[in-house]
Structure 1
């Protein structure tokens, strides 16, 4: 059997708190709607959503009842970079696993779509703080092919970093420091160990730090019960608001959907299934479902109760992908011949870690006191009271790209680690 040096693929997604209101990016006057829909990043959005929900269901099936939180966009971007060097069946498996629609998009357009997404997410003029980036830690024994290097730097703005993988403790330290710095300390010690044969590490990171468009008043936060199931509960800090939100009651799926926007171009959907209907809602998670919610939103006054929470998720993406039919890239049959000269490479490890911290002001590192005065009148009937005191779902969406930045299920707000 031919020997193969291992390519260690690592990626992470981190989210810091809150959420933000998003203004839909207007289509320029000289650009028709048809032209807009043909832009690569617009055509890519449905594929990325399909991948996100497919991966969510695989994680759900693997984990059973437990918190879920991950960045679909981070994982998809990392593996999309890998397709630049994949060939033959390895490439086809990756493309299918990532839900790329090759009847609608050329390979070049896929990478152009990610290129534009990265540009828009990292726009310095954004009101929210959203950063996404990529890096390649490469051993001196590896000579990357110029086409691959051009692709990852031009399309994905990846930073090539020279690293000595013959000194694994030092390489691990360098990688973890890079990740910790890029995520502002939110992801620490991502890499616990490396295969001794590792010669390259690919990293993607996402950092989101957002402030609620309408912050919760911390003086109204109080201890309350969160029901893990019909018999067990935990105490949480429950935040409260009585304001106008985009709300939809999905009678077919038996759930409430509330949009809580951030300042800037990011928003969040909080989905509260009725007791016993979580699996029904999860099974229905498709891009069409989210589109239906968007169309059905109605601005209305509600009493909203939402727990303060901080949860993290760590995932073995290699195992998840193999169960989704993406196997060859992790095996000795991997064809990554488009990456490096005279080396047979395979992916030996794929790790993803994400964290979310939701607070009254939407951000972790800042505090604010807000005194808000609004006119009121006696309603004809009381506003609905929507209390997130049982397992719920959370989606964080960038509206400029229609990108699903983060996706999760909160089963126990007091359990910080999965």
Structure 2
């Protein structure tokens, strides 16, 4: 008999909300200087590995959806897989950790737990200029007798709250899950879950909330219509924000691209990368943690006139076909086992749904950003002031400074369109 399936849902919302923080693992206290050095080494390894996974997944998505916008949250996916597989439940999690690109000869499972705890704990901040939260909840088939016992230590940082759910009544289960999603996003997101199978064992809802203001906002008066090149001499009209100010900028002659850093008011930054025409693939193939470090060293601050589209982007990916091919086979195959979820053995993941949304506006990054027409776009800057015009496909990264986490990663091929729900059944 086929074992019950475990439905995995990744949900990312760029909206303002309040969620419960993860508790600090019991018994973790400040230690010696050697302990601090070890933690720093762990966090450095975590940042490097998570970035490596982010770029690997990005290239997979690009290969499967050529010519389309790409947008997802790498840290949301990594932390959610770690929450499920290191939180108390996977036996053993080795192949999944390798799928996340961890080298277990360099970092132990316990160090990975501590590292993810640090990331999740750090991504909790709320004030009038920055909202940053992570969380998850697990809905388990009540017939499988969910294990509701608490866990301790580093595991406590990853164990989601468990909700017994009647999956034999699909519409009721959907309403229960959507109710939580609607509550956590203040009604911004509804009807996210679809087509729950009769053999669904559990649904993991995971969310990363991000809303931030620019350190130096754009003036909406300067936002005017402009043309964005789609390729083959086709263009689309978009609202183009503009500002002349001091920005960190670099020109990477080796990779034929220009990068611009836009700072948020606290702890986060957006990195926009503009390849020269015809050089997008070259830049994409070079994306790596080491490329990010190289760009960080090359960035120089100076007066720049910036033109960047005002847009909102959303994406939904069904990743159950792509993740096993990235090393997650033990989570989706017959060898899967999550003994801490319920008394039922041999549970496997059957579906992985990742949803993301982000808005790019004059004030900053938020959900539901709208665009509107203005007057005629001004001419290019006069004199010696350099300018960067993001009027053709470019890459977008949103990074958190303290943990060096990539909160968002994407490619803007057409800022006037969002991405529909995408299924990837034809992966090779």
Bin for the TM-score computed over the shorter chain: 0.7 to 0.9
Q: Which residue of 1 aligns with 2:23?
A: none
Question: Cα deviation per residue 1:72-116 (whole Å; 9 max; x = unaligned)?
Answer: 11111111122232224xx33211111112122211111111112
Q: Distance in 2 between matches of 1:148 and 1:105?
A: 26
Q: Distance in 2 between matches of 1:366 and 1:340?
A: 38
Deviates more, 1:170-179 or 1:347-356: 170-179
1:162 to 161, 164, 176: 164
Q: Are the equivalent residues in 1 in contact too, given 2:242–2:307 (CA < 8 A)?
A: yes
- How is 1:386-397 mapped onto 2 (pairs within 5 angstroms)? 386-397=388-399
1:45 to 44, 47, 72: 47
Q: Which residue of 2 aligns with 1:334?
A: 336
Q: How big is the shift at 1:55?
A: 0.5
Q: Are the equivalent residues in 1 in contact too, given 2:83–2:160 (CA < 8 A)?
A: no
Q: Which residue of 2 aligns with 1:409?
A: 411
Q: Which residue of 1 aligns with 2:4?
A: 5
Q: How big is the shift at 1:15?
A: 2.8
Q: Distance in 2 between matches of 1:319 and 1:352?
A: 13
DSSP 3-state at the match of 1:104:
coil
Q: Are the equivalent residues in 1 in contact too, given 2:167–2:201 (CA < 8 A)?
A: yes
Q: Which residue of 1 aligns with 2:90?
A: 86
Deviates more, 1:329-338 or 1:193-202: 329-338
Q: Distance in 1 between matches of 2:190 and 2:283?
A: 33
DSSP 3-state at the match of 2:344:
coil
With over 3 angstroms needed to count, the CA separation of the structure-2 counterparts of 1:212 and 1:281, relative to structure 1, is same
Q: Are the equivalent residues in 2 in contact too, given 1:187–1:354 (CA < 8 A)?
A: no
Q: Distance in 2 between matches of 1:365 and 1:4?
A: 39
- How is 1:291-370 mapped onto 2 (pairs within 5 angstroms)? 291-364=293-366
Unaligned 5+ segments in structure 1 are 18-27, 368-378
Q: Distance in 1 between matches of 2:69 and 2:259?
A: 19
DSSP 3-state at the match of 1:103:
coil
Deviates more, 1:46-55 or 1:150-159: 150-159
DSSP 3-state at the match of 1:110:
helix
With over 3 angstroms needed to count, the CA separation of the structure-2 counterparts of 1:245 and 1:33, relative to structure 1, is farther
Deviates more, 1:337-346 or 1:72-81: 337-346
Deviates more, 1:332-341 or 1:270-279: 332-341
Residue 65 in structure 1 maps to residue 64 in structure 2: no
Q: Distance in 2 between matches of 1:279 and 1:186?
A: 35
Q: Distance in 1 between matches of 2:162 and 2:339?
A: 19
Q: How big is the shift at 1:186?
A: 4.3
DSSP 3-state at the match of 2:142:
coil
Q: Distance in 1 between matches of 2:262 and 2:150?
A: 41
Q: Which residue of 1 aligns with 2:122?
A: 120
Q: Distance in 1 between matches of 2:402 and 2:245?
A: 25
Q: Distance in 2 between matches of 1:83 and 1:147?
A: 17
Q: Are the equivalent residues in 2 in contact too, given 1:259–1:268 (CA < 8 A)?
A: yes
DSSP 3-state at the match of 2:202:
strand
Q: Which residue of 1 aligns with 2:58?
A: 56
RMSD: 2.6
Q: Are the equivalent residues in 2 in contact too, given 1:15–1:406 (CA < 8 A)?
A: no
- How is 1:8-407 mapped onto 2 (pairs within 5 angstroms)? 8-15=7-14, 35=37, 38=40, 40-84=42-86, 85-88=89-92, 91-124=93-126, 127-145=129-147, 150=152, 154-156=156-158, 158-364=160-366, 382-407=384-409
Q: Distance in 1 between matches of 2:318 and 2:156?
A: 28
Q: How big is the shift at 1:126?
A: 8.8
Q: Are the equivalent residues in 2 in contact too, given 1:243–1:301 (CA < 8 A)?
A: yes
Unaligned 5+ segments in structure 2 are 17-29, 370-380, 421-428
Q: Are the equivalent residues in 2 in contact too, given 1:127–1:265 (CA < 8 A)?
A: no
Q: How big is the shift at 1:53?
A: 0.5
DSSP 3-state at the match of 2:2:
coil
DSSP 3-state at the match of 2:297:
helix
Equivalent residues, number: 393
With over 3 angstroms needed to count, the CA separation of the structure-2 counterparts of 1:193 and 1:151, relative to structure 1, is farther
Deviates more, 1:6-15 or 1:207-216: 6-15
* TM norm structure 2: 0.85
With over 3 angstroms needed to count, the CA separation of the structure-2 counterparts of 1:252 and 1:35, relative to structure 1, is same
